[in-house]
């Protein structure tokens, strides 16, 4: 151990390996990651937008990691989301920087879990150089940010403030990388080291006699994985998606109400809404589902709670003269029931005397299309998939055909597959800065959502084909350049909400509103007189029928791997540029 520390000190006082002065516009960067998650996609998009050559390698084992580094021979190996250890031969030869979701001095794999559980009022992100010991390398950059008193979910924290701080650290890192005399700082010179162990279920455990606020904090610290083990209505489950409910006098642990798939459970003081659960049984078959689905057959006869709305889901709200249809769906998955709620909300919105209708997400992802977990858990997955895709198509059709009001669709969070295609029928499409869109279909599905009409109409037929075939993420800058979105609003979620409301209120101007509506009607009459929406949908659903019922492209296996969170066996070819035939190091 002493020799390792001596080696570390010597390295921290010397220049990082393989550093040579480089133009910030011409770097070869290898993203070494555990998965291509939201933060990794955002880093990938923004680095490419700045002109860098960016390859991705999934960290499967030391041999494949070393092989990827040799093939890519990068100026920088960047690890925005990495659980595995970087092989010594790699970090000793190539500058390798880890993005750690904790402040300087914090070490351990459960940083965010502890931050939420302990009620930290401030947290941070550190960009540190890879060394032999995990999270112990010298610091290239760091950022801190406040945490709200009301505990965020771990996933919301990671995809929000942590992701923003990480991108800021990456910006600083690239600037310093171009400076040959910069040397990263040993962490012990900046802060006291705090090593946090892996959080286990014993650390997460709670009693239903505990206050509701304490229970919610424990569950949010484990959301979206691994959840917290508990028992509800006699069923052993993993709990997710928790909100503080109203005061109740019922026995702690008893289910007292249900609403829109969530159940209300009495606590020692107050109550807790639980939106999603996962049965504790067979790990291969158990998937995260709405609480009432998991507890089906075990719930007592309870009346719905009329005085408490429960967790936000799909709903309509009016603010001034703007109507909002909010898709506040857990993990962005839009089930058949949620699609029907969205359809009802849109039809209700169209009947109001508002000047504009805004379709937006909640505090998480905007939408990721149909609900694969519900499909996987169904007695007949193909039939449920079909019901889900036809229901989401009804929502798309309603948006396209809304001729009486101006419609605005807002990518308030990340979106994928049908969740990108769904809002493209709106008059104006806007996005929050920094969101990532995946405008293509995988999972062995050809896709529907009327995208064969709305996508080419927005970006042109050539770009539409390219987006669908290349299957690569798109950041906001590229989305605006393509015409996928029209305007980009601020990154801060609250500021984006205010900006979005101002955008919608532009249409109080009668001239602008009438011109927009007239243009919409003219375009629809021109396009749909040549080929009606029914024809677009019929062709799409004809393909989808073969995908869902005949499983011609492996939908069953791909869906199962997704819901069971199986790690891919290899890096997708479209991301692994360093493994492509003819790859040339520029």
pLDDT at 36: 95
Q: Which residues pair with 428 in a beta bridge?
A: 408
| Whole-angstrom distance, CA of residue 286 vs CA of residue 563 | 9
Give the residue among 441, 543, 520, 440 at the shortest CA–CA distance from 482.
440
Residue positions counted in the chain: 586
Asked if residue 174 lies in contact with residue 51, where contact means CB atoms within 8 angstroms, the answer is no
Assigned token pair, 96: 């390798």
What is residue 553's three-state secondary structure? coil
Asked if residue 106 lies in contact with residue 60, where contact means CB atoms within 8 angstroms, the answer is no
pLDDT at 5: 32
Assigned token pair, 238: 């993993």
Q: Output the CA–CA distances (angstroms, integers) from residue 462 to 400, 469, 475, in the order listed.
A: 22, 11, 19
| Reduced 3-state DSSP string for 459-485 | HCHHHHHHHHHHCCCEEHHHHHHHCCC
Q: What is the pLDDT of residues 8-32, one digit of tens each?
A: 333 333 345 555 444 456 899 999 9
Q: Which residues pair with 289 in a beta bridge?
A: 277
Q: What is the pLDDT of residues 331-381, one digit of tens each?
A: 999 999 999 999 999 999 999 999 999 999 998 999 999 999 999 999 999
Where do the H-state alpha helices sit in 489-554? 493-505, 510-530, 533-549
The sheet with strand 415-416 has its strands ordered as 415-416, 436-438, 474-475
Kindly report the pTM of this predicted structure. Answer: 0.92
Q: Which residues pair with 431 in a beta bridge?
A: 411, 488
| Whole-angstrom distance, CA of residue 423 vs CA of residue 364 | 17
Where do the H-state alpha helices sit in 13-96? 38-49, 62-72, 88-91
Q: What is the pLDDT of residues 485-540, one digit of tens each?
A: 999 999 999 999 999 999 999 999 999 999 999 999 999 999 999 999 999 999 99
* CA 452 to chain centroid: 25
Burial class (CB in 10 A: 0-12, 13-18, 19+), 203: middle
With tokens 């299309």, the residue in question is: 369
- Domains of the chain listed by start with CATH number: 2-198 (3.40.50.170), 201-294 (3.10.25.10), 314-491+506-553 (3.90.226.10)
Assigned token pair, 136: 């112990």
| pLDDT, one tens digit for every residue, the chain (586 residues) | 333 333 333 333 334 555 544 445 689 999 999 999 999 999 999 999 999 999 999 999 999 999 999 999 999 999 999 999 999 999 999 999 999 999 999 999 999 999 999 999 999 999 999 999 888 899 999 999 999 999 999 999 999 999 999 999 999 999 999 887 889 999 889 999 999 999 999 999 999 999 999 999 999 999 989 999 999 999 999 999 999 999 888 999 999 999 889 999 999 999 999 999 999 976 556 899 999 999 998 888 755 554 666 676 899 999 999 999 999 999 999 999 999 999 999 999 999 999 999 999 998 999 999 999 999 999 999 999 999 999 999 999 999 999 999 999 999 999 999 999 999 999 999 999 999 999 999 999 999 999 999 999 999 999 999 999 999 999 999 999 999 999 999 999 999 999 999 999 999 999 999 999 999 999 999 999 999 999 999 999 999 999 999 999 999 999 999 999 888 888 999 999 999 887 766 6
| Whole-angstrom distance, CA of residue 262 vs CA of residue 277 | 9
Asked if residue 64 lies in contact with residue 71, where contact means CB atoms within 8 angstroms, the answer is no
Mean pLDDT of the chain: 92
Q: Output the CA–CA distances (angstroms, integers) from residue 236 to 221, 224, 258, 286, 398, in the order listed.
A: 19, 18, 18, 12, 41
| Whole-angstrom distance, CA of residue 439 vs CA of residue 534 | 22
Residue 45's contacts (CB-CB under 8 Å, 6 or more residues apart) are 436, 473, 474, 475, 477, 478
| Whole-angstrom distance, CA of residue 93 vs CA of residue 505 | 56
Assigned token pair, 265: 């459970």
Residue 417's contacts (CB-CB under 8 Å, 6 or more residues apart) are 368, 369, 438, 440, 441, 442, 443, 445, 447
| Whole-angstrom distance, CA of residue 105 vs CA of residue 556 | 45
pLDDT at 342: 97
Q: How is residue 185 annotated by DSSP?
A: B
pLDDT at 309: 60
pLDDT at 6: 32
Q: Which residues pair with 76 in a beta bridge?
A: 29
Q: How many CA atoms lie within 13 A of 457 on its CB side?
A: 21
Assigned token pair, 139: 């610091």
Cis bond leading into 224, ω under 30°?
Answer: yes
Cis bond leading into 226, ω under 30°?
Answer: yes
Residue 530's contacts (CB-CB under 8 Å, 6 or more residues apart) are none
pLDDT at 284: 58
| Whole-angstrom distance, CA of residue 290 vs CA of residue 373 | 10
């Amino acid at each position: 151990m002493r020799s390792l520390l001596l080696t570390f000190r010597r390295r921290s006082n010397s220049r990082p390996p393989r550093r040579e002065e480089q133009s910030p516009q011409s770097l070869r960067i290898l993203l070494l990651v555990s998965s291509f998650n939201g933060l990794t996609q955002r880093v990938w998009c923004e680095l490419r937008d700045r002109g860098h050559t960016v390859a991705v390698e999934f960290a499967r084992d030391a041999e494949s990691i070393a092989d990827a580094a040799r093939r890519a021979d990068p100026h920088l190996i960047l690890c925005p989301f990495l659980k595995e250890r970087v092989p010594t031969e790699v970090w000793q030869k190539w500058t390798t920087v880890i993005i750690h979701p904790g402040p300087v001095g914090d070490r351990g794999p459960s940083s965010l879990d502890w931050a939420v559980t302990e009620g930290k009022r401030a947290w941070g992100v550190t960009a540190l150089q890879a060394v032999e010991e995990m999270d112990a390398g010298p610091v290239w950059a760091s950022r801190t940010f406040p945490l709200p008193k009301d505990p965020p979910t771990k996933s919301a924290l990671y995809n929000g403030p942590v992701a923003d701080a990480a991108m800021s650290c990456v910006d600083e890192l690239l600037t310093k990388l171009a400076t040959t005399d910069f040397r990263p700082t040993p962490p012990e010179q900046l802060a006291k080291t705090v090593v946090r162990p892996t959080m286990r279920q014993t650390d997460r455990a709670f009693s239903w006699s505990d206050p509701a606020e304490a229970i919610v904090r424990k569950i949010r610290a484990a959301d979206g994985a691994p959840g917290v083990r508990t028992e509800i209505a006699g069923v052993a489950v993993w709990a997710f998606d928790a909100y503080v409910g109203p005061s109740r006098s019922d026995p702690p642990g008893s289910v007292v109400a249900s609403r829109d798939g969530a159940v209300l459970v009495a606590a020692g003081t107050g109550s807790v809404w639980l939106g999603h659960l996962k049965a504790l049984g067979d790990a291969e078959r158990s998937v995260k589902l709405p609480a009432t689905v998991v507890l089906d057959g075990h719930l007592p006869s309870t009346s719905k709670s009329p005085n408490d709305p429960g967790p936000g889901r799909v709903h309509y709200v009016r603010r001034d003269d703007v109507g909002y249809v909010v898709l506040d769906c857990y993990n962005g998955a839009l089930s058949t029931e949620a699609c029907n709620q969205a359809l009802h909300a849109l039809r209700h919105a169209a009947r109001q005397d508002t000047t504009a209708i805004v379709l937006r997400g909640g505090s998480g992802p905007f939408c990721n299309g149909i609900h694969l977990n519900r499909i996987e858990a169904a007695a007949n997955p193909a039939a449920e998939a079909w019901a889900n895709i036809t229901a989401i198509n009804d929502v798309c059709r309603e948006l396209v055909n809304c001729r009486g009001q101006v419609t605005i669709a807002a990518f308030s969070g990340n979106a994928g597959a049908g969740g990108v295609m769904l809002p493209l029928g709106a008059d104006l499409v806007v996005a929050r800065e920094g969101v990532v869109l995946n405008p293509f279909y995988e999972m062995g599905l050809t896709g529907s959502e009327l995208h064969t009409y709305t996508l080419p109409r927005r970006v042109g037929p050539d770009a539409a084909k390219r987006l669908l075939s290349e299957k690569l993420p798109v950041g906001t800058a590229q989305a605006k350049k393509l015409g996928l979105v029209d305007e980009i609003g601020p990154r801060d979620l609250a500021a984006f909400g205010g900006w979005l409301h101002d955008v919608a209120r532009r249409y109080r101007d009668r001239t602008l509103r009438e011109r927009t509506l007239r243009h919409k009607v003219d375009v629809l009459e021109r396009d749909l007189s040549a080929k009606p929406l029914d024809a677009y949908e019929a062709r799409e659903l004809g393909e989808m029928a073969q995908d869902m019922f005949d499983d011609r492209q492996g939908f069953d296996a791909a869906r199962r791997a997704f819901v069971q969170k199986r790690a891919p066996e290899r890096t997708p070819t479209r991301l692994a540029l360093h493994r492509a035939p003819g790859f040339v190091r520029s």
